[in-house]
Amino acid sequence: MRRFTWFNATSLTLGFAFLYLPMVILIVYSFNASELVTVWAGFSTKWYGELLQNEAFLDAAWVTLQVAVISSTIATVLGTMAAYVLVRAGRFAGRTLFSGMIYAPLVMPEVITGLSLLLLFIGIGLDRGVLTIILAHTTFSMCYVSVVVSSRLVSFDRSLEEAALDLGCTAMEAFRLVTLPIIAPAVISGWLLAFTLSLDDLVIASFTAGPSATTLPIKIWSSIRLGVSPEINALSTLLIAIVAVGVITASLITKRAALRQEAEERAAIRA
């Protein structure tokens, strides 16, 4: 076991400071009473009240939330199906092409992805709006879900499925009653990753969004080009809080599911 040295402590402190100190500063200045972002004029929550009265930000936030929930849900379903095929289907004609198409968005620059999707939507005559953003976000986030779920399926004990089949379950019932509950933590993690990527996306959404649909990152980007306002600090603080609550909740759910699964496995071994 390695000893905890001052070098390790310093490196760890500097690393966490580099990652989280800007967020702390942003949260602190969201309670600044001054209209100047860099000048502290006392504690105040008035910018949160101003934010709740800003219709443009509220509409953009609602569009972003809709897109994130719908696209991450579709991406989770499709990504789980793709991962199951890649891990369980064995070798089949076109497997290399299929896996390459699944994992291509991982290494493809977002500018290229956004531009290609824009040309596709123009070519098929689909007006840009909420639907095109959902399709675009589903396309690039599905591969992340597939990677997360496939890594869990690789280490999955297939004897559990075989036991369910021997007891009379169909393949679909074995997947629904045995496989899916066991890989549920990975599926939830994939959904959260897709949800976070959708909330954060700016490049692809800027290509696929139309005048009738503006996401929150696009709205924030267009606003800070004229200067950072305290309302943006307040909005960013709320987003950080929402993401933090979501991550903590997902961690608790995943931990509880893992403990339940471990308890069930021990009970099965004893039986």
Locate the domains of the chain by residue range: 55-270
**Band of residue 238 on the pLDDT scale cut at 50, 70, 90:** confident
Task: State the sign of the Cα–Cα–Cα–Cα dihedral 224, 113, 121, 80.
Answer: negative
Q: What pLDDT, on the 0 to 100 scale, is given for residue 2?
A: 60
- Which tens digit of pLDDT belongs to each residue from 78-124? 999 988 888 877 777 777 888 888 888 888 888 888 899 999 999 99
Q: What pLDDT, on the 0 to 100 scale, is given for residue 78?
A: 92
Q: What pLDDT, on the 0 to 100 scale, is given for residue 265?
A: 67
- pTM for the full model? 0.80
CA angle, corner 215, sides to 74 and 63, nearest 5? Answer: 60
**Band of residue 39 on the pLDDT scale cut at 50, 70, 90:** confident
**Band of residue 268 on the pLDDT scale cut at 50, 70, 90:** low
pLDDT score of 58 more than 90: no
Phi, psi for 92 (deg, rounded to 5) = -145, 160
Q: What pLDDT, on the 0 to 100 scale, is given for residue 133?
A: 92
pLDDT score of 170 more than 90: no
Residues 6+ apart with CB under 8 A from 106: 143, 144, 147
Whose CA is closest to 150, among 88, 60, 83, 209?
Answer: 83
As a whole number, the mean pLDDT across the chain is: 83
Chain CA centroid to CA 206, Å: 18
**Band of residue 271 on the pLDDT scale cut at 50, 70, 90:** low
Q: What pLDDT, on the 0 to 100 scale, is given for residue 269?
A: 65
Whose CA is closest to 80, among 174, 187, 160?
Answer: 187
pLDDT score of 246 more than 70: yes
- Which tens digit of pLDDT belongs to each residue from 216-226? 888 888 877 77
Q: What pLDDT, on the 0 to 100 scale, is given for residue 69?
A: 92
Helix (H, G, I), strand (E, B) or coil at 43: strand
55-270 homologous superfamily: MetI-like (1.10.3720.10)
pLDDT score of 215 more than 70: yes
